[in-house]
Structure 1
């Protein structure tokens, strides 16, 4: 957490071979002004994969997939943010994928949630996210790039464990009802593991900050 000096809040995550930076700016004035919401904060999100994040160089301009994932991340996080406390303001969330190996959507949400906490944005709960899938007939957790592309199913899930509330659920492929239940249970288990890691990082970051501040004061 807090690894970008010029952002109000930031976080970096390595999950598998994914390497992702998330940064938050705000609350701040809304530009352009016609986008102002009189009763709540305007949350904007930009998910971007660096040209060097995959084996074949990716064009720098945003793709349709990146635009879709930006929307998905915003909606997953917005459910946790207390947007009604900051009317007529804007919050920008930036996610930069430095290296991608499948599951970057969930890793981005997990990192962005930490960046929001680092920025001091009031939230109902932290959001943790991961993907489950079906590969060679087996339900598996945290797909890598090969499993994502060649597997039968990809199902990203974002979750607020303390509130027991799902903020994102997508699925590409087909599952039986029994397979879906098993996949969802496995995804929630993965989210809970990430949630505990988020809590540890939060505690370590702010406990070490307060300890160093006390030492300086002495």
Structure 2
């Protein structure tokens, strides 16, 4: 499929969105009763499942490193289902390849930034992420799913870790009045495969009050071609706005889930 956008269709993207418009987000907490916490997210056609086990006593290689540890340990596994890319492509290994290991390490950094590890000395938490279907921005969606799974597990966090991607390409929409490319938010697979660069941002978009949001970036990585330094700040700000919008959706979903949980608990009594 040609990633170019038909400007005769009102300047919309391939899937009908505007340059800074997010895909539709569907999510659910408490998917698995066997896990301590779980969450499922669909962001467009990207589908992610996350589970959390713990806190529990360290196992395996973590035991030796916990002798003098004053903080808890976060163990992350990032897997991509072999069928996740559709009929035309199959992933040979669901986990253990270089990309999966890098993503697991990045996910670990994001989770360590939001968990109060001081409260879990000599304990371990396991976060498992399974990418069920790939259609762009899957790492950012995985971070969102893992954050929700931690909440469902009842693990105290400092704030939501929210991920959002922004893609820059000469063949994609997203120009300002000067004609300079401003990028498109939450790219799908076709848009990410176009010649250009995709910047993935994971941030803590903390809400100060109803009119102000103070965001701090905890993780950022790029893929594709080189990005000129002069474009970085404007893209960062747009990606942070996307993180803020996603946080609003996630926060409302958490509140709805907790309300249902409270009502169900009251009825059981």
d(CA) in 2 for partners of 1:39, 1:207: 35
Corresponding residue for residue 30 of structure 2: 2
- 2:162 is aligned with 1:128: yes
TM-score, reference length from structure 2: 0.77
- 2:157 is aligned with 1:105: no
Corresponding residue for residue 184 of structure 2: 140
- 2:68 is aligned with 1:35: no
d(CA) in 1 for partners of 2:267, 2:58: 40
Corresponding residue for residue 182 of structure 1: 234
Please state how far the C-alpha of 1:176 moved relative to its aligned partner.
Answer: 3.0
Indicate the SS of the match to 2:83.
coil
Indicate the SS of the match to 1:169.
strand
Question: 8 Å contact 1:135–1:151 — kept in the other structure?
Answer: yes
- 2:251 is aligned with 1:207: no
Question: 8 Å contact 1:77–1:167 — kept in the other structure?
Answer: no
d(CA) in 1 for partners of 2:216, 2:115: 13
Per-residue Cα deviation, 1:103-162 (whole angstroms, up to 9, x for no partner): 100000001001001111111101110111102263111111122222311110011111
d(CA) in 2 for partners of 1:204, 1:44: 29
TM-score, reference length from structure 1: 0.94
| Structure 2: 5+ residue stretches without partners | 1-28, 172-180, 207-213
Larger CA deviation: 12-21 vs 163-172: 163-172
Corresponding residue for residue 84 of structure 2: 53
Question: 8 Å contact 2:127–2:146 — kept in the other structure?
Answer: yes
Please state how far the C-alpha of 1:166 moved relative to its aligned partner.
Answer: 1.1
d(CA) in 1 for partners of 2:185, 2:100: 23
Please state how far the C-alpha of 1:61 moved relative to its aligned partner.
Answer: 4.6
Please state how far the C-alpha of 1:76 moved relative to its aligned partner.
Answer: 1.3
Indicate the SS of the match to 1:22.
strand
Which is richer in helix?
Answer: 1
Corresponding residue for residue 196 of structure 2: 152
| Structure 1: 5+ residue stretches without partners | none
d(CA) in 2 for partners of 1:110, 1:203: 16
Corresponding residue for residue 194 of structure 1: 246
Larger radius of gyration: 2
Equivalent pairs, count: 217
Question: Which among 20, 38, 53 is matched to residue 25 of structure 1?
Answer: 53
